[in-house]
Amino acid sequence: MPKLTPHNAAAATQHDERPIHILWINCGLSCDGESVSLTAATQPSIEEIALGAFPGLPKIALHWPLIDFECGPEQGVDNFVEWFHKADRGELEPFVLVIEGSIPNETINGQGYFTGFGRHPGTDQPITVNQWLDVLAPKATIVLAVGTCATYGGIHAMAGNPTGAMGVPDYLGWDWKSKAGVPIVCVPGCPAHPDNLSETILYLLYQAAGQAPMIPLDDQLRPRWLFGATVHEGCNRAGYYEQGEFAETYDSPKCLVKLGCGGQVVKCNVPKRGWINGVGGCPNVGGICIGCTMPGFPDMFMPFMESMPITWRTGSPMAVTESETYGSVIRSLREFALKQFDTEPQWRKKGPELITGYTPDWGDDRVRPTRLRAWRRGSRARRSGGSA
């Protein structure tokens, strides 16, 4: 297949009005967290995507174990896996392949298998996620890995695991590109954020329809606009961090770094975005960031509940106590400045005179502009730290 361009992709999806199929395989090693998470998406919701609520979006056929918009009662739930066989036979074009869960190393599975999604028509044996990837990835227009398990291996791939689990880029290759020239797209998170998932799916559908340019990805294959900033940069406790005020218990509104928060070195937009419909967002609501979107998760962030040396978090030689000292200076300067700004102007009072500085054209001598000028001089001096 030629590379996607606005011209040929639009031609493929609009002229013959074929739907774009989304084939969602959730049989990697996982807890189905991304599927559950997606049901909570609101910006956009998966129902809006599947039912065509967006202008210019071609018809979508979603083959997703949680809600199958294509099969249902008419075709019978037993037909579900047939769509994947159709794609394997080359009868489904175009399609986006979504992988949820990490990819085990099936070459060391002994006489069993680690995963299974449907059965081989001939042998009746389970079809592993590895086998589906082998046959479907080369035929897919786009491959999307959802959740930290599918993107980087996640919890199943931590040190000491018995399955040799890995992420989709580890399995297919980090430089792998689809037949349309699109790299693997990774939306990490444990689970992935609902709207990060739905927004990326929507983007990719528009791209497949030729109405969006190549998705911008960072060097870990994450959408750049979603994963470009750290948790710390979006945290509503960052002001406390700057002032060296750290929570010692979970009922405190202060910065959670001493309780184990790793937000300073974690790329994730959850504190800014909230979790469901803008509400929540790990450290914003009292939960330490455990780095669940990161390729090194979980090993690099364990033990989660213990404070790591601040040098490890920041890469700077500053220790917590030094940070607290520096923060206390910032805090006292800020308290002084706050007092200056936390006052009303002097002219808001009862009295026989108008002292706002108003100068009527007709020369009302009740006005005392000199008093206003004096107040402004004092205000400027207070802002610059001098005396009035």
Can residue 194 be called a binding residue for ligand SF4 (CB under 6 A)?
no
Question: Least Å distance between CB 316 and ligand SF4?
Answer: 14
284 phi/psi in degrees, rounded to 5: -60, -30
From candidates 264, 273, 295, 355, binder to ligand SF4 by CB under 6 A: 264
- Determine if the peptide bond prior to 94 is cis (ω within 30°): yes
Give me the least distance between CB of 144 and ligand SF4, in Å please: 19
Q: CB within 8 A of 142, min separation 6: which ones?
A: 96, 97, 178, 180, 182, 185, 204, 207, 208
State which residue, 23 or 157, has the beta carbon closest to ligand SF4: 157
Q: Which is nearer to ligand SF4, 99 or 226 (CB)?
A: 226
Q: Point out which span in 73-81, 94-102, 175-183, 264-272 binds ligand SF4 (CB under 6 A).
A: 264-272
Which CB, 107 or 249, lies closer to ligand SF4? 249
Q: Which is nearer to ligand SF4, 272 or 368 (CB)?
A: 272
Considering CB under 6 A, how many residues would be counted as binding ligand SF4?
Answer: 24
Find out whether 136 and 97 touch, Cβ atoms under 8 Å. Answer: yes
Backbone phi, then psi, for 157, in 5-degree steps?
-100, 10
**In terms of CB distance, is 13 or 196 closer to ligand SF4?**
196
Q: How far apart are CB 272 and ligand SF4 at their closest, in Å?
A: 10
Give the other-Cβ count within 10 Å of 66's Cβ. Answer: 14
Token reading at 200:
């990326």
Let me know if 375 is exposed, middle or buried by CB neighbors in 10 A (0-12, 13-18, 19+). Answer: middle
Least Å distance, CB 271 to ligand SF4, is: 6
The CB-of-189 to ligand SF4 minimum distance in angstroms stands at 5
**Nearest-approach distance from CB 325 to ligand SF4, in angstroms:** 18
Does 327 interact with ligand SF4 (rule: CB under 6 A)?
no
CA distance 96 to 46: 15
Query: Which 231-250 residues touch ligand SF4, going by CB under 6 A?
Result: 231-232, 235, 237-238, 241
Among 292, 308, 310, 372, indicate the residue that binds ligand SF4 (CB under 6 A).
292
Output 58 or 291, the one with its CB closest to ligand SF4. 291
Nearer to ligand SF4, 102 or 293 (CB): 293
Q: Is residue 169 within the footprint of ligand SF4 (CB under 6 A)? A: no
Task: Rank residues 215 and 266 by Cβ distance to ligand SF4 and give the closer one.
Answer: 266
Is position 30 an interface residue for ligand SF4 (rule: CB under 6 A)? no
ω into 162 cis (within 30 of 0): no
**Cα(25)–Cα(367) distance, integer angstroms:** 77
C-alpha 13/C-alpha 93 separation (Å) is: 9
94 belongs to the binding site for ligand SF4 (CB under 6 A): no
Is the distance from CB of 30 to CB of 106 less than 8 angstroms? no
Contact at 8 Å (CB) between 327 and 238? no
Query: How would you list the strands of the sheet with 20-25, edge to edge?
Result: 60-63, 20-25, 95-100, 142-146, 185-187
Rounded to whole angstroms, what are the CA distances from 173 to 140, 177, 320?
Answer: 15, 9, 41
Q: In angstroms, what is the minimal distance from the CB of 185 to ligand SF4?
A: 18
By the rule CB under 6 A, 266 interacts with ligand SF4: yes
The yes or no reply on residue 197 touching ligand SF4 (CB under 6 A) is no
Residue 273 within binding range of ligand SF4, rule CB under 6 A: no
Phi, psi torsion values for 239, nearest 5 degrees: -60, -35
165 binds ligand SF4 per the rule CB under 6 A: no
Helix (H) or strand (E) holding 25: strand 20-25
Residues at the interface with ligand SF4 (CB under 6 A):
189, 231-232, 235, 237-238, 241, 255-257, 261, 263-264, 266, 268, 270-271, 282-283, 289-293
